[in-house]
Amino acid sequence: MNIQKYIDVLSHLQIAWKQNERIAAYTSLKIGGPAALVVKPSNDEQLHLAFQEAKRLQLPVCMIGNGSNILADDCGYDGVLIVTPPFFHSIERREGNVIYAQAGASLRDVCLFARDESLGGMEFAYGIPATVGGAVYMNAGAYGGEIKDILLSCRFLDEHGEWHVKHVSDLQFSYRQSLFTDREVCVADALFQLYPDDKKKIAAKMEELMEKRRQKQPLEYASAGSTFKRPQGNYASALIEQCGLKGYRIGDAMVSDKHAGFLINMNQATSHDFKQLIHYVQEEVYQQTGYHLECEVKMIP
């Protein structure tokens, strides 16, 4: 690999980097071995150069925000992990009830900003533990809303490190899918089209949805959110519960007994524990119901 050449370039450009940091530190699931290199660009130019140089040197690249939908292998990642937080968190109001947000901004912060600006339409996203970049990449959604419903456009770097700006209509959005799915691309920022609304009404809706999360989801445990996509005509959590799998455990990986759609890290679960549990749940649900549960969590590598 060309890691040393890449390190030399990063050092010359004064872009922050660290070798062999555990990916677990960057994910909500708290699982994952060392990445060959963790890179933390601090501005747009550094992001472009870090991504472009990694591509030029033919290094595997993975972008990460809050790491809230990721299962990283304990063996690690023999590539470059580019982390957007704590930088790239700017949020601004633009003309026409539009909000601009950089990829490293949390959805929570964007929702709070929209509330304070008396702009509605984003309430569903409050509580989704993702950054803007990750949310756009996977078309994150909850409570009947999806990112595609409010996205106007986004700016991203393609596999060759070239900039593009695309309108939402060109991003091929579907359920937890987009133009970016399974591609080594970098979402840099996005524009959201919202609408004027009463600030108190927005705040009340946000709190209502957050309370639903608190009551129904195992927020006290490390997880990657909903582990499986919703199968057509049913719900993953209902199928898993129907199969008697609530509380089923392999090592420290367990099907939550509070919400069966969440597989949680009870303490020190390994990636092997989690992958075995995912496979077991998929097999049991298929055998008992005929439904195949597709994993929503992104695997690294």
In the chain, the domains with their CATH numbers are: 3-83 (3.30.43.10), 91-201 (3.30.465.10), 219-300 (3.90.78.10)
Cβ atoms of 244 and 267 within 8 Å: the answer is: no
- Sign of the Cα torsion 246, 295, 89, 301 reads positive
Count CB-CB contacts under 10 A for residue 68. 22
Helix (H) or strand (E) holding 245: none
Give the span between the Cα atoms of 6 and 57, in whole angstroms: 7
Q: Average pLDDT for consecutive 10-residue bins of the chain (301 residues)?
A: 91 95 96 97 94 93 93 96 91 97 96 98 95 95 95 95 96 94 93 98 96 93 94 95 97 97 96 97 98 95 85
Cβ atoms of 294 and 226 within 8 Å: the answer is: no
Determine the pLDDT at residue 85: 86
Give the span between the Cα atoms of 31 and 290, in whole angstroms: 31
Q: Which burial class, exposed, middle or buried, applies to 86 when counting CB atoms under 10 A from its CB (0-12, 13-18, 19+)?
A: exposed
Determine the pLDDT at residue 2: 87
Q: Which burial class, exposed, middle or buried, applies to 234 when counting CB atoms under 10 A from its CB (0-12, 13-18, 19+)?
A: middle
Count CB-CB contacts under 10 A for residue 23. 27
- Sign of the Cα torsion 117, 121, 126, 130 reads negative
Determine the pLDDT at residue 301: 85
Contacts of 220 (CB under 8 A, 6+ apart): none
Determine the pLDDT at residue 1: 64
Query: Which pTM was predicted?
Result: 0.91
Determine the pLDDT at residue 86: 85
Cα 55 to chain centroid distance, Å, stands at 22
Q: Which burial class, exposed, middle or buried, applies to 284 when counting CB atoms under 10 A from its CB (0-12, 13-18, 19+)?
A: middle
- Show which residues are catalytic: 176, 226, 296
Give the span between the Cα atoms of 278 and 296, in whole angstroms: 11
Determine the pLDDT at residue 185: 92
Structure tokens at 241: 């519960």
Count CB-CB contacts under 10 A for residue 274. 28
Determine the pLDDT at residue 56: 92
